[in-house]
């Protein structure tokens, strides 16, 4: 089964998705790492972003490999974040990466994290979570990761949010059947516990009702 976790940057998706996958013994899919890997290939080699995205072989796990090369740290650099957000608006880039994501999600149990997992990549996901947090909380978390001033992050974030929500290709929005969770004042374990309980409910719902005694 697929558990989709979508939402804006800084809502705590990666931490929550990783921990949920661990708790359930599911595989974690970081779709953002794919956009970042394609962006790095484009920055290094030029050409058309969609071609770079289509041809690159991406392996996700403890480390991120691009055509066999370890790019785990390189894809977190600020210029790669910026390029990832720019190439993610291109239809051809999205088509290439969504195809790779669907191929992975086709078999097994997954917690897949991104912006469009519940709406585009896996519209039939057994459980869809849209994780949010207040703009201030998200900016503070990002600032801590980046070692930057949170007010500056807040300003950039407002711009990025607007771009993500208004872009033509797969704008950031909750699927109609997604459950919205606000992580603002909640501990990670608390949010993860709630999602794990929802997965158990979803599983029960998908099983045939057991025959009662007698």
Based on the shown chain and the rule CB under 6 A, indicate whether residue 100 belongs to the binding site for ligand DC: no
Based on the shown chain and the rule CB under 6 A, indicate whether residue 40 belongs to the binding site for ligand DC: no
Report CA dihedral (106, 108, 115, 204) to the nearest 10 degrees.
Answer: 110
Q: Which of residues 107-126 bind ligand DC (CB under 6 A)?
A: 114-116
Based on the shown chain and the rule CB under 6 A, indicate whether residue 141 belongs to the binding site for ligand DC: no
- Minimum distance from CB of 88 to ligand DC (Å)? 4
**Among residues 35, 110, 130, 150, the one that binds ligand DC under rule CB under 6 A:** 35
**Among residues 36, 52, 128, 141, the one that binds ligand DC under rule CB under 6 A:** 36
Based on the shown chain and the rule CB under 6 A, indicate whether residue 138 belongs to the binding site for ligand DC: no
What distance in Å separates the CA atoms of residue 81 and residue 18, rounded to the nearest whole number? Answer: 20
Based on the shown chain and the rule CB under 6 A, indicate whether residue 157 belongs to the binding site for ligand DC: no
Q: By C-beta, is 66 or 200 nearer to ligand DC?
A: 66
In the chain, % helix, strand, coil (3-state, to 5) comes to 55, 15, 30
State which residue has the least CB distance to ligand DC. Answer: 32
Distances from the Cα of 114 to the Cαs of 44, 98, 101, 145, 173, in angstroms?
A: 24, 11, 11, 18, 11
- Minimum distance from CB of 143 to ligand DC (Å)? 15
- Tell me the chain's radius of gyration from C-alpha atoms: 18
Here the tokens at position 157 are: 């974030």
Residues engaged in binding ligand DC (CB under 6 A): 9, 31-32, 35-36, 84-85, 88, 114-116
């Amino acid at each position: 089964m697929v558990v989709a976790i979508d939402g804006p940057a800084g809502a705590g998706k990666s931490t929550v998705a990783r921990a949920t996958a661990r708790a359930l013994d599911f595989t974690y899919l970081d779709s953002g790492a794919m956009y970042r890997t394609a962006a790095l290939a484009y920055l290094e080699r030029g050409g058309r972003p969609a071609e770079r995205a289509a041809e690159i072989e991406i392996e996700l796990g403890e480390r991120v490999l691009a055509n066999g090369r370890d790019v785990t740290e390189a894809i977190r650099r600020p210029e790669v974040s910026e390029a990832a957000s720019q190439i993610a608006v291109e239809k051809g880039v999205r088509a290439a990466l969504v195809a790779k994501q669907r191929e992975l999600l086709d078999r097994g149990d997954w917690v897949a994290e991104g912006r469009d997992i519940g709406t585009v990549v896996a519209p039939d996901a057994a459980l869809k979570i849209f994780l949010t947090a207040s703009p201030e909380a998200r900016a503070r978390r990002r600032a801590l990761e980046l070692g930057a001033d949170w007010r500056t992050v807040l300003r950039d974030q407002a711009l990025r949010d607007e771009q993500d929500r208004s872009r033509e290709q797969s704008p950031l929005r909750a699927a109609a059947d997604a459950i919205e969770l606000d992580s603002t004042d909640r501990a990670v374990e608390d949010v993860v516990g709630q999602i794990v309980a929802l997965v158990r409910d979803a599983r029960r719902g998908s099983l045939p009702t057991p025959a009662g005694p007698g």
